[in-house]
Amino acid sequence: MELEILVSFLLYSVTLVSFLFLAKTKLSISPKTHSSTAIPKPYPIFGSIFAFSANFHRRIQWIADILQTIPSSTFIFHRAFGSRQVFTANPAVVQHILKTNFPCYNKGLSSHQTLLEFLGDGIFNTDGEIWKVQRQISSHEFNTKSLRKFVETVVDVELNDRLLPILSEVSENKTILANFQDILQRFTFDNICIIAFGFDPEYLLPSLPETAFVKAFDDSSRISSERLNAAIPFLWKVKKILNVGSERRLKEAAAEVRGLATRIVREKKKELEEKSSLESLDILSRFLSSGHSDESFVVDIVISFILAGRDTTSAALTWFFWLLSKHSHVENEILKEVMGKSETVNYNEVKDMVYTHAALCESMRLYPPVPVDGKEAACDDVLPDGTLVKKGWRVTYHIYAMGRSEKIWGPDWAEFRPERWLSQVDDGKWSFIGMDPYSYAVFQAGPRVCLGKEMAFLQMKRVVAGIMRQFRVVPAMDKGVEPEFAAHLTSIMKGGFLVKIEKRGSTNE
């Protein structure tokens, strides 16, 4: 064992020194690498990792810029040691990998191993029968009327008892809310824990408590994302063997996350054993009552639900309120729609918030909660645009780039315009026009389409209605400062969202 560690360390050192030396040499020769939108030049052994490393801090935008310059919206990226990755923003290719040739494109062994410590064998990190079982159970539960009502009730309680009072206090004291994104993350974290597990972490209390679990969850997500995007995956694997740096922290953080998830599962099992009938409507109770009681299996499900329910919805709402602050006509249209509903918007009224729905879709087009997603080819294949794919290659569809593609959205793609999703009928009311899911892949598509889509829209529209009826969210950043889009496994507004909360006047301006 000591010999293995020594050899690994030597290989790590040699590779790192070679990489730094060559990267410095090549980048000093080609100073435009940082801003170039051309397909990066590959070099023997190291592929295009020099350009990748130079642009790592802005890799989402960098790859999007490259894709915009290519007629087919698809290119092959050369990773180190002969590995290849296909990037695409072509809807025909997306349909091919997500539906037409679905059996050939899985999450894959490489992705599974990379995310294993954090996500285990949860629904986002598995293929085959394990995925099918989780999918079938989840699909059934997300479609139950009782769950829909439960979601509606939980969101309303969290909104009225926790979120709105915090915003009211900030408004009355005329203070600056240091990070509205954090408030929304706390809101969605409490929501998903109650909805999915019947467990209230009380993360959105007025004291805004810090918890070891949330810190561990954030670290696990960030480090897992760094693994997934690593220029040389071999390096994080060596760090894992040596148990140093970020890999040591991931081990600790993942243990913390799995510890709480395990406690939630055990307490729920005990609660169900003590009851003669199923009273709770949370998803975990339904999973356990359906006969799926293997602890490790259910723990993985718990973690996946938290990731899906907390980070994606809060990210979508953060960017939505930012865009709203810059487009008063959109704000006025939504406010008009909100004020036409009852004070506590019920399910049917939420469904009828057509303009708000369109504005949320438009916001997620420009700032998708999951900016990129990928599959691994289980067989050799040829994509619809003629790109050859070899078994083992990753094919990554770039959702962020697709939302900014002139080929898909036309010359006004950069405009925040909810009307592109709408048409007006004879009585002047708006009618929503859905977009092809392979051109707008924010919720994936095909057999793995997001099961929580309806729940997410219900939650977001209810939050928008509740906040906008009483308050205006006003960015408090320095003049001319634009927030930066960044991503781990899900997207974030880098540095948070500094805002003022202004109470609306009696005229509801």
Query: For 418-444, how does the pLDDT look when each residue is reduced to its tens digit (9 = 90+)?
Result: 999 999 877 778 899 999 999 999 999
What is the reported pLDDT for 284? 86
Mean pLDDT of the chain: 88
Q: How confident is the model at residue 231 (pLDDT cuts 50, 70, 90)?
A: confident
CA 405 to CA 416: how far, in whole Å?
14
What is the reported pLDDT for 274? 81
- Whether the per-residue pLDDT at 123 is higher than 70: the answer is yes
- Whether the per-residue pLDDT at 479 is higher than 70: the answer is yes
What is the reported pLDDT for 27? 36
Q: Is 495 helix (H, G, I), strand (E, B) or coil?
A: coil
CA 238 to CA 165: how far, in whole Å?
49
**Domains along the chain?**
70-503 (1.10.630.10)
- Whether the per-residue pLDDT at 32 is higher than 80: the answer is no
- Whether the per-residue pLDDT at 106 is higher than 90: the answer is yes
| Kind and range of the H or E run holding 36 | none
Task: Give 152-204 pLDDT, tens digit per residue.
Answer: 889 999 999 999 999 999 999 999 999 999 999 999 999 999 988 888 999 99
- Whether the per-residue pLDDT at 59 is higher than 50: the answer is yes
- Classify strands 394-398 and 84-88 as parallel, antiparallel or unpaired: parallel
Instruction: Give the angle 52-121-123 at the CA atoms, nearest 5°.
Output: 85
CA 396 to CA 375: how far, in whole Å?
6
% residues pLDDT > 90 (the chain) = 64
Q: How confident is the model at residue 480 (pLDDT cuts 50, 70, 90)?
A: confident
Task: Give 305-350 pLDDT, tens digit per residue.
Answer: 888 888 899 999 999 999 999 999 999 999 999 999 988 888 788 8
What is the reported pLDDT for 467? 97
- Whether the per-residue pLDDT at 30 is higher than 50: the answer is no
Better-scored residue on pLDDT, 139 or 84 = 84
Tokens 């091919």 belong to residue? 96
CA 6 to CA 239: how far, in whole Å?
12
Alpha-carbon distances, residue 83 vs 31, 110, 382, 389 (angstroms): 25, 12, 18, 12
- Whether the per-residue pLDDT at 360 is higher than 50: the answer is yes
Does residue 450 have a known ligand-binding role? yes
Task: Give 142-166 pLDDT, tens digit per residue.
Answer: 776 777 788 888 999 999 999 999 9
The amino acid that residue 280 corresponds to is S
Among 312, 307, 314, CA closest to 179: 314
Mean pLDDT score, 74-81? 94
CA 415 to CA 400: how far, in whole Å?
15
